[in-house]
Structure 1
Amino acid sequence: MRPKLSLLQAYLLIALLALFLTSLWSYSAFQNIERQNERIVEEAIPIANAASELFALLLDQELSVRGYTYNQDMLSLRQYNETKHALAETIQVIHELDHRHPVMQEIIQGEALPLINEMEMFYESQLALVDAGKIVEANARRYSGIDYINQFRDVDADIREDIDKIIQEASQRSVSASNSATWVIVIVVAIAILLLLAFVHTFRLERSKQALIHRSLHDALTGVWNRRAFDEKLERLWDETEESSTDVALLLLDIDAFKLYNDTYGHLAGDACLERVAHAVDKAVGEDGMVARYGGEEFAVLLRPHHARQSKEVAERIRQAVLKLNILHEAYQPLRKVSVSIGVAEHIPGLDVEKSDLIEAADRALYQAKQSGRNRVSMGKAM
């Protein structure tokens, strides 16, 4: 005669079985969260960062060709070739990743690459004119490249919209996996030990999530905000200022002769220089605004509305802060230390302008600062 289980023994057996099954379920759910987070790191963030670099590289290319057309200097030509190489590498990275995202592939293949090819054909024709000695003809077309840049702004906006979709989809997958884990925790809440383990794991996942969010909005090298965070902040600030009729000010700053610095001291020293400059700029701006790495050696500072009218003073404070770093740059004569040129653009309420006009005005002012001898602040207004 087989012994019968008592009611308590049955309850204990059921509890042990439930603990075993829910432990397996819990482990599987948390593993799923880890997999989704890994997909964000391995797929979403790399393609987002690479696609975000396209517009900045095209801007660098435009400035280099424009400078070479005007001055026929080898530094501008070398900067153009380096930017062209970096652009090709970025496109290769996107090619390796965009097959997992059909919409991104459609935008890159159907819109971005044809326009980039047109731009490169135009730049090569400009270089050919200069090499042939047709300087007047080349200078007559010197600003034609801006038309391509303006066309690419719309493509860049589509790319960034798709980047947001990719990030959102990846985040939703993570949230969905997290929701499954939540149901597991509800089931095992009565089991004290398992509940404790679930909470420990949940805290670890939350830290991982916060780290992912921080990583997606900050530049990995310098630690300041990245281009995506800057674009989102500018969008919000622009809407707020249009409603409240407050001023907006944007500073674009570029490390002078940075390509020459890299050629002289190497890329590791260049990275260290970028970090020190970014830290100095961030400290100089403080609570007055937001500092972001705009691309390459270029940074953007978006001032808060109540500090917008002190934009020139803030820009001068930044310029002085970088000089005080005393970073040696022997090849950069006659200063022989790292400096920055800053373009400042202000938008006064009441003018019918767009965000792109503000950025373009700051870019023009930056170009003027460069052409006027570098290590200076140039003012502009969005018209």
Structure 2
Amino acid sequence: MKWSTLQRYLFLALCALLFTSVWSYQAFLKIERENARILKEAIPISTEAAELFPALLNLELSVRSYILSPNKTDLAQYERTINQMDQTITRLNRLDANHPIMRKLVRTEAIPRIEKATQFYDTQFELVKDGDRASAEARRYQGMQFIETFRPIDARLRTDVNRIIAEATQRSEQASSAAKWVIVVVASIAVLVLIAFIQTFRMERSKQVLIHRSLHDALTGIPNRRAFDERLEKLLEEAKQEQTPLSLILIDVDAFKSYNDTYGHLKGDECLKEVARVLKRQARHGQVARYGGEEFTVLLTRGIEETRHIAERIRQDILDLNITHEQYEPLCRVSVSLGLTSLVPEAQTTEKEIIDQADQALYRAKENGRNQIGDLAG
């Protein structure tokens, strides 16, 4: 049976497609292998090696702070850093023969220096625990010699890390270069990928819009209750770790139901927008949110005095808007009541406790006549 010219061309095209498919499969397998090596070797090594020097600095700072003012926080920080460093060294010790320079640096230079440093720091802690702070203070700056002698070790570790990453990157680039001809042959696939990318980009934009909408109030444009909850959880955790103050202001528009009943919901919406604008202007360094209905919140990583000052500016600025509210006597204009709490949280402090404190302070402000600040500082 004789093949037609068209059949021959179709057969050749089929063979070419089969060949390029196998070729592309092999080329991209090589790229995947090299990328996997980067993810499995180069990046973990870089991460682990880079943690040693900062960890040593953390030990030095924790010990100094503990000597000056013994407290459980510094002791806990020291113990956490020791544990993290032990885990880092354990992982670095698992380096195989593919990285002989790194293995030698870690085992013969880095680890012995770290062990000497930790022995010295442990001795410092023991002196303080035994009541001999004078001796510990006299030796307070001796720990810097471990930092200084570790700097060149850290530099050599980073140099070898850069070499490992460069080699891994070079292998990946070589594999990518071999795949370039495949891309030329299968240009039609690239078009399909481009179309898919454009579609994916649109989907991602839609996703971001949905995420933004889910975290922002549709009326005022500021973050909503969900965003507030997420931010409070994060800031509370940071404040616990760093032992820094966290403050919450809870704001409620006074007699807002009466305002809605008198002037209608459209006017009520405009009133809430004006309040939100004041909050954004007066609490630039805080996290503003609409908590629900006519309630708003401001989260601040500030102390009690600055928080009171911001709360007072908010109260006065909203009063100065001069939004008429004839049914709300004796002011006859829109005002807000504010409840604030400020504390350096303990380990067991919860988000609910902070919100409850601010809510109690707000209740106190309303009970005392509204248009004022209730205060519960811890």
User: When the two structures are superposed, what TM-score results if normalisation uses the length of structure 2?
Assistant: 0.51
User: Matches of residues 159-198 of structure 1 in structure 2 within 5 Å?
Assistant: 159-189=157-187, 192=188, 194=189, 196=191
**Within 2, Cα distance between the matches of 1:171 and 1:272?**
40
Specify the alignment match of 2:59 in structure 1: 61
User: Matches of residues 214-229 of structure 1 in structure 2 within 5 Å?
Assistant: none
Contact 1:98/1:104 (CA < 8 Å) preserved in 2? no
Q: Secondary structure at the match of 2:94?
A: helix
Q: How far does the alpha carbon of each residue in 1:235-259 deviate from its partner, in whole angstroms, 9 at most, with x for none?
A: xxxxxxxxxxxxxxxxxxxxxxxxx
Specify the alignment match of 2:46 in structure 1: 48
Shift of the 23–73 alpha-carbon distance from structure 1 to 2, 3 Å rule, reads same
Residue 137 (structure 2) pairs with residue 139 (structure 1): yes
Specify the alignment match of 1:329 in structure 2: 344
**Within 2, Cα distance between the matches of 1:119 and 1:46?**
25
Residue 78 of structure 2, aligned match among 65, 77, 80: 80
Q: Secondary structure at the match of 2:125?
A: helix
Shift of the 275–328 alpha-carbon distance from structure 1 to 2, 3 Å rule, reads closer
Shift of the 116–276 alpha-carbon distance from structure 1 to 2, 3 Å rule, reads closer
Specify the alignment match of 2:13 in structure 1: 15
**Within 1, Cα distance between the matches of 2:42 and 2:239?**
25
**Aligned length in residues:** 227
| Structure 2: runs of 5+ lacking an equivalent | 202-231, 243-284, 287-298, 308-340, 348-352, 355-378
Contact 1:47/1:98 (CA < 8 Å) preserved in 2? no
Contact 1:112/1:155 (CA < 8 Å) preserved in 2? yes
**Within 1, Cα distance between the matches of 2:15 and 2:342?**
66
Shift of the 272–130 alpha-carbon distance from structure 1 to 2, 3 Å rule, reads closer
**Within 2, Cα distance between the matches of 1:151 and 1:19?**
61
**Within 1, Cα distance between the matches of 2:238 and 2:92?**
25
User: Matches of residues 88-167 of structure 1 in structure 2 within 5 Å?
Assistant: 88-97=86-95, 100-167=98-165
Contact 2:240/2:344 (CA < 8 Å) preserved in 1? no
> Partner amino acid for 1:168?
A
Q: CA deviation at 1:188?
A: 4.4
Shift of the 80–188 alpha-carbon distance from structure 1 to 2, 3 Å rule, reads closer
Shift of the 12–18 alpha-carbon distance from structure 1 to 2, 3 Å rule, reads same
> Partner amino acid for 2:86?
A
Shift of the 14–175 alpha-carbon distance from structure 1 to 2, 3 Å rule, reads same
> Partner amino acid for 1:75?
T
Q: CA deviation at 1:146?
A: 0.8
**Within 1, Cα distance between the matches of 2:140 and 2:190?**
67
Contact 1:277/1:322 (CA < 8 Å) preserved in 2? no
Q: CA deviation at 1:273?
A: 3.8
> Partner amino acid for 1:47?
I
Shift of the 31–274 alpha-carbon distance from structure 1 to 2, 3 Å rule, reads farther
Shift of the 275–47 alpha-carbon distance from structure 1 to 2, 3 Å rule, reads farther
Q: How far does the alpha carbon of each residue in 1:358-382 deviate from its partner, in whole angstroms, 9 at most, with x for none?
A: xxxxxxxxxxxxxxxxxxxxxxxxx
**Within 1, Cα distance between the matches of 2:70 and 2:99?**
42
Contact 2:240/2:346 (CA < 8 Å) preserved in 1? no
> Partner amino acid for 1:131?
K
Specify the alignment match of 1:38 in structure 2: 36
Please tell me whether Structure 1 or Structure 2 has the larger radius of gyration of its CA atoms: 2
> Partner amino acid for 1:126?
Q
Shift of the 71–139 alpha-carbon distance from structure 1 to 2, 3 Å rule, reads same
**Within 1, Cα distance between the matches of 2:83 and 2:235?**
18
Q: Secondary structure at the match of 2:118?
A: helix
**Within 1, Cα distance between the matches of 2:239 and 2:185?**
48
Shift of the 322–69 alpha-carbon distance from structure 1 to 2, 3 Å rule, reads same
Contact 1:36/1:170 (CA < 8 Å) preserved in 2? yes
Q: Secondary structure at the match of 1:106?
A: helix
**Within 1, Cα distance between the matches of 2:76 and 2:50?**
23
Shift of the 275–176 alpha-carbon distance from structure 1 to 2, 3 Å rule, reads farther
Aligned CA-pair RMSD: 3.8
